[in-house]
Amino acid sequence: MKILVIGGTGMIGAHTALLLREHGDDVTVAGRGPVPDESPVADFPLLEGDYTVPSFTREQLSGFDAVVFAAGQDPRHRTAADSDDAAFWAATQSVGVPRFAELVKQSGVGRFVQVGSYYHQLRPDIATANPYVAARKSADEGARALADGSFSVCTLNPPSIIGVVPGASTRRYRRMVGWAAGNEPGIPDFAPVGGTNYMSARSLAQAIRGAVHGGESGKAYLIGDENLEYQQFFQLMVDAAGGDREIVARDEQHPLLSDAAIVQGRGNTLAYEPDPEETRLLGYDRNDCARAVGELVEAVVASV
């Protein structure tokens, strides 16, 4: 199958592109600019474009059998220039994603798989109060509304993802890995109370492949792996980095996981079990988080 991965130069997209190619698909990655030499997808065909502008054309998309959308932006992607909250979420989520999906449909592509986020599917009430989650919900529902007999659309809504690729994502984790190893004495040894479901980038890539080749059109899949308290996740990081100490939980904001980053609110836990039949259909691994944390730490250390 000839597949285009939008956001294919990012962490989720790169893992997906590599796995799809490994299993025999003809994969092109799409990004806003040239791919750095250090990227694991540096040797893939590249289509430059920006869905938020938008700059892609029907002609560029028409040769593909399927499009994977793995470029949805979240609060980490906002910059000082993105001062208009409503405009940012409209461009990157609620308007930008369905508009791009419509272009994919008009181009004659038969399948569209969107990578979304779990908040609105697990806790619809959060979407009523959080503009980011509301925009994710609109992006998900807007794209799936385009499904018909000629255009298959489904969404994967994953939890917090554990993974890195060389470049920006390894740099993002350097401070946390340094702390886990015991090299950041200014950062206290505790984790905020609460927790969430976690999933490895490898498991997510497997689910994306399953959705591309066999996902049900019009379906939103709530996917995930392990429910961990933040204390447990922090402890996994410390153990993988050889930090040799015990992390406790406190009801305080933490420098490595601010209250703003805990969408459900500090002290709350977003725990669930994905549907077993859907997990089998999509074909992704479970119990992969500890392995993914170890791989993350190794990649960050190697990048320093």
Span 34-51, pLDDT tens digits: 999 999 999 999 999 999
146-197 confidence digits (pLDDT tens): 999 999 999 999 999 999 999 888 999 999 999 999 999 999 999 999 999 9
Closest to 163 measured CA to CA, from 155, 154, 173 = 173
pLDDT at 132: 95
Q: What's the rounded Cα separation, in Å, for the pair 8 and 99?
A: 19
Mean pLDDT score of the chain = 95
Decide if pLDDT at 74 tops 90: no
Cα end-to-end distance, the chain, whole Å: 37
Question: 201 pLDDT exceeds 60?
Answer: yes
Note the CATH number of domain 2-161+199-225+274-282: 3.40.50.720
**Number of Cα atoms under 13 Å in the Cβ half of residue 195:** 15
Taking residues 69-95, report their average pLDDT.
79
* pTM across the whole model: 0.96
Q: What is the mean pLDDT of residues 112-117?
A: 98
Q: What would the DSSP string read from start to end of 187-216?
A: S-SEEES-EEEEEEHHHHHHHHHHHHHHPP
| CA-CA-CA-CA dihedral for 25, 30, 34, 36, to nearest 10 | -60
Would you say residue 81 has pLDDT above 60?
A: no
State the Cα–Cα distance between residues 8 and 90, nearest whole angstrom: 22
- Give the model's pLDDT for residue 134: 97
Does pLDDT of 79 surpass 80? Answer: no
For residue 11 the two structure tokens come to 């962490």
CA nearest 284: which of 214, 215, 204?
Answer: 204
Domain map (residue ranges) of the chain: 2-161+199-225+274-282, 168-195+228-272+288-303
Q: Can you give the pLDDT at residue 9? A: 94
Q: Is the pLDDT of residue 55 over 60?
A: yes
What's the pLDDT at 113? Answer: 98
State the pLDDT at residue 83. 62
* Residue 157 burial (CB count, 10 A): 22
Q: Is the pLDDT of residue 72 over 90?
A: no
Q: What's the pLDDT at 291? A: 98
82 pLDDT exceeds 60?
A: no
Percent of the chain with pLDDT over 90: 92
Distance CA 16, CA 269 (A): 28
pLDDT at position 254, please? Answer: 97
